[in-house]
A and B are shown apart, each in its own frame.
Chain A
Amino acid sequence: MNPAFPLVPVRASSVASEVDALFLFILTVTGIAAVGIWIALLYFAIRYRRRSDDERPAEIEGSLVLELTWTIIPFLLMIAMFVWGAKVFFHLNRPPDDAMTVSVVGKRWMWKLQHPTGQREVNQLHVPVGRAVKLVITSEDTIHSFYVPAFRIKKDAVPGRYNLAWFQATRTGTYHLFCAEYCGTEHSRMTGSIVVMEPEEYQVWLAGGPAPESPVLQGEKLFTDLNCITCHRMDDAGRGPVLRGVFGRSVKLASGEEITADAAYVRESILIPTAKVVAGYQPVMPTYQGQVNEEQILALIAYIESLRIPASAAAPARTPTSGAPSR
């Protein structure tokens, strides 16, 4: 953080320079337009200022050619801005396949983060430089927004939904993490930092402290503790569907619909089991609403995802991500 007088925020992620290039393009175009109009305005205002009270300037009706010119040229420039912007936006919304997943849970007024290896952090996230990090973001209470200016990323944490963001840090250092969506009294204190480290340092950092459990293992433990295992057995003799190999696949529902078993579906099935019952099963599962928190749900999802059958691991590219009322 430069304490002096910065005019450009630090660029510390792979997309930051992409966003800044676009920013600069729009700034140039709009800057030229603005200065041009100001000059014309001032020049006309001074050059044609009223010199005598009975001055009657000649009438100018307007000009179709001019009107078309200043309609079409801005329009074309704007199309260019839109297309470029859409390209950057798609990039911002499509994490690389090999990204490591960090789960983010917003809660008034803190950020709870968990690494794929199980380490938990609050208001601080350590990440290795040069490695793509995918963030799965949700909230326990109201809407928050995960904002790292140096990375040029921002995504709302919405209760009941999973939103995605990703970044790949390009330089080591400590960067601001802000909550950007107003969430109450301590909104401005819901800040933290992202610590970008060399990969080796990151490994050392990971190794420090008590060996944590990975989300998959936590999820497996919860799966037993909550007695999920008695119905969702590994053979098909249980009262509930077999979960092995289900994640990312298409499932036929009792209603006849087909749905992809993604994180949102698993979450809904834990909290509202009767909403979308798999074909051939009875709606007998009780709700776990209130018994598991958002982090535990994420662990359960990680566990169920780990039960994927390797051959089908190449999941279809287009699967749902969104939350509750999207179907």
Chain B
Amino acid sequence: MSSEHVVSWKVYLAVFLALVALTVITVEVTGHDFGPFNLVVALAVAVTKATLVVLYFMHARYSERLTHVVIASSVAFLVILVFLLLTDYLSRPWSLVAVG
């Protein structure tokens, strides 16, 4: 199995500790009111955690390029779905005329 990269267990432990720390941070932040930034922080932390899991636990960092393409395209199409949905929902209030 030449292509498989064996990573030391220490890396897994470090990633685990980072994930725990990030979870604590995301809960901590909820205790303060930063307005819309609460959501931004929550999402940023979640994306960071997910990236750590994908890169290390799921070995994406050591995988072939095709795997990266698969990951990227699934995320890209999810972004397309949400983004194009929002072109409708965010621009509805700018309608041409008032009803009434």
Contact = CB atoms under 8 A, between A and B. Distances in A.
Direct contact of A and B (CB under 8 A): yes
A321 B99 contact: yes
A174 B61 CA distance: 70
B97 A94 contact: yes
A150 interface: no
Interface stretch (A152-160, A237-245, A312-320): A312-320
Nearest to A306: B100
A126 B92 CA distance: 31
A164 B99 contact: yes
Interface in A279-325: 301-302, 305, 315, 317-322, 325
Contacts of A162: 99
Contacts of B98: 248, 262-263, 315, 319-321
B94 interface: yes
B9 interface: no
Nearest to A99: B97
A262 B96 contact: no
B31 interface: no
A95 interface: yes
A95 B93 contact: no
A71 interface: no
Contacts of B96: 90, 93-94, 318, 321
Nearest to A162: B99
A194 B89 CA distance: 33
Contacts of B97: 94-95, 164, 317, 319, 321
Interface string A240-261: 0000000110000000000000
B95 A320 contact: yes
A101 B99 CA distance: 9
Interface string B5-40: 000000000000000000000000000000000000
Contacts, number: 51
Interface residues of A, number: 26
A320 B97 CA distance: 7
Interface string B72-92: 000000000000000001001
A52 interface: no
A305 B96 CA distance: 18
A320 B96 CA distance: 8
Interface string A78-104: 000000000000100111000001000
Contacts of A319: 95, 97-98
B87 to A, nearest CB: 13
Nearest to A305: B100
Contacts of A322: 92-93, 95
A315 B92 CA distance: 18
Contacts of A247: 100
> Which 10 A-B pairs have CB atoms at the shortest separation, nearest pair first?
A326-B92, A322-B92, A319-B98, A263-B99, A321-B95, A320-B93, A321-B99, A305-B100, A162-B99, A94-B96
Interface of B: 89, 92-100
29 contacts: A94-B96, A94-B97, A95-B97, A136-B99, A164-B95, A164-B97, A164-B99, A247-B100, A263-B98, A263-B99, A263-B100, A302-B100, A315-B98, A317-B97, A318-B96, A319-B95, A319-B97, A320-B92, A320-B93, A320-B95, A320-B98, A321-B95, A321-B96, A321-B98, A321-B99, A322-B92, A322-B95, A326-B89, A326-B93
